[in-house]
Amino acid sequence: MRIRIEHPCVYLGPDGTKTDCLLIDEARVVAVGEQAKLGPVDRTERPEGRCVMPGLIDSHIHLWGLGLRAGSVSLRAAKSTQEVYGRLAGARPVGGWVLGTDWDQNNWSDGRELSREVLDDLFPATPVSLRRIDGHACWVNSEALRRAAISDSWTPPPGGEAWRVGGKPTGQLNGCLVDEGMKPIEAVMPPVTEVDDLATYLETARLLRSFGITGAHKAWMPMDRLKMLERLRDSNELGLRLHLLFDCNDPTLQMLLDRGPWSDDWISARGIKFFADGAMGSRGAALLDDYKDVEHSGLVVETPETMNRDIPRYAALGWQVAVHAIGDRGAQNVLDAFEKISAADRFKTRPRLEHAQMLDDRNLDRFEELGVIASLQPIHLFSDAAWIEEALSPEQLRRLFRWKDLAAGTRLSGGSDFPIEDPNPWHGISVAMTRKHAGGQVFHVEQCLSRHEALSLYTTDAAFAGFAENHVGRLDTGFFADFCVLDTDPFLATPDEIWDTKCLATFLAGRAT
């Protein structure tokens, strides 16, 4: 079917080049401008809105998982421990457990920790697991600890931590388990079914399209859900173009390796995901120096020895390797492993450092030297910079969110890290341009990105990070006709106006969604 799109302001890409007409045939743009006005068509569309632009791509998102399941209690934006307890009161179990998500102790005005004893009083015989907003910690009660065979004398595995009452190195557990320390709890919790994950995926895809997003990179993909996505693709219900980064520790990963990297018009299965460290909020990000407020430097989740061995091996097999690293020591460990990949394999596989949140000067320069993509989530600054001075020294703060420094010689890409953060890409673009955080202040204004750089994060840069730069991210001839219609012109609007941008319609491969 041949469709003509007519609008006085159609942006072809993040550079601001525009036209007034597109011709689409079989889901791809076949002509632009005057050439698009020639010849017969089956239908003409005249979208109503301020402008049309390429569909956006979220290059780091969790389309399901991280505690997302029906019946969980949302603890997002709770301002105190008492508010957390209030939301939990009367909660109904899910599969025999009381589940909560998205608590963040940095927002608690009373300065207290959650109490295992209070959770025991609320739920004396029902296990409780409350997952932190970043997914890197959970708070549990005594019944959950009992089911996981965790006693006060328990030693967490490498890469894990168990917080104790009063912050002491030994003694009674307060119920907070970090990173690998969560594994025994996860092992005894009721499993999430494919029906649950399918419902969550479809709702997340709908939400993303409502913002003008037409593509997403799933940042941690379990092998057992690949067939679910393939069925959605085959029934024309996938609703997003996906680039998948598979869990490096999946017990069935060899099946993927045997198949080899592959992609089609809808699904790209050519990435493998590692975790080098934890998260800043739970003090699990691995730092070169100790945190200011606790006497340790974070957690190493995947050991350097493992990454040095496996990452070059996967790259040699043609796999893109993406590694979560938030702290500066975590980033250094990842870059050390990437350096062991041959230059030819790095060029072919485009290794990615996910978050690139904290970098010292020496390791910042290595991105360009090694050809590593820095996968950023600007919205993290909006949340974290409001409290981060409590955790880090002035020198450590200088190493945070070095976007402009990276942009000078590094290929970037942009995402949200939803559901940890706000999935609205216009909020991320606005923050990238202003570096304004939730407290209303600006964090290191010299690291702001330009309008072009900020828009590129979610279009051409994200397309490149997913090996799709010849198919999506622009509306040139030969590209998929994935676009959105906006009530605001992001090439003319102020950053505050961009924050308030509304998507009026999203078109995916020529079909309104």
Is the predicted pLDDT of residue 513 greater than 70, yes or no?
no
Instruction: State the average pLDDT over residues 498-509.
Output: 96
Instruction: State the average pLDDT over residues 314-338.
Output: 98
d(CA 218, CA 232): 15
d(CA 111, CA 131): 19
d(CA 442, CA 448): 10
User: pLDDT-derived band of residue 36, with 50, 70 and 90 as boundaries?
Assistant: very high
Is the predicted pLDDT of residue 98 greater than 70, yes or no?
yes
d(CA 457, CA 461): 5
User: pLDDT-derived band of residue 512, with 50, 70 and 90 as boundaries?
Assistant: very low
d(CA 164, CA 143): 17
User: pLDDT-derived band of residue 69, with 50, 70 and 90 as boundaries?
Assistant: confident
Task: Write out the two tokens for 353.
Answer: 């450092």
Give the model confidence (pLDDT) of 440-488 as tens digits: 999 999 999 999 999 999 999 999 999 999 999 999 999 999 999 999 9
Q: Of residues 132 and 167, which shows the higher confidence score?
A: 132
Beta-sheet strands, E only, within 26-121: 28-32, 43-45, 51-54, 56-61, 73-74, 98-103
Instruction: State the average pLDDT over residues 110-136.
Output: 92
C-beta separation of 70 from 196 below 8 A: yes
Question: Going by C-beta distance under 8 Å and a sequence separation of 6 or more, which residues neighbour residue 305?
Answer: none
**What pLDDT sits at residue 165?**
86
The Cβ of residue 234 has, within 10 Å, a number of other Cβ atoms equal to 10
Is the predicted pLDDT of residue 169 greater than 70, yes or no?
yes
**What pLDDT sits at residue 113?**
87
Give kind and range of the element (H or E) at residue 382: helix 379-384
Give the model confidence (pLDDT) of 367-407 as tens digits: 999 999 999 999 999 999 999 999 999 999 999 999 999 99
Percent of the chain with pLDDT over 70: 99
In degrees, to the nearest 5, what angle opens at C-alpha 360 toward C-alphas 357 and 363?
Answer: 90
**C-alpha 172: how far from chain center:** 34
d(CA 470, CA 479): 7
C-beta separation of 280 from 384 below 8 A: yes
Give the model confidence (pLDDT) of 250-266 as tens digits: 999 999 999 999 999 99
Give kind and range of the element (H or E) at residue 512: strand 511-512
Instruction: State the average pLDDT over residues 349-366.
Output: 97
Q: Of residues 511 and 110, which shows the higher confidence score?
A: 110
Question: Going by C-beta distance under 8 Å and a sequence separation of 6 or more, which residues neighbour residue 1?
Answer: 25, 26, 42, 43, 510
**What pLDDT sits at residue 166?**
81
**C-alpha 175: how far from chain center:** 27
d(CA 50, CA 198): 34
Is the predicted pLDDT of residue 511 greater than 60, yes or no?
no
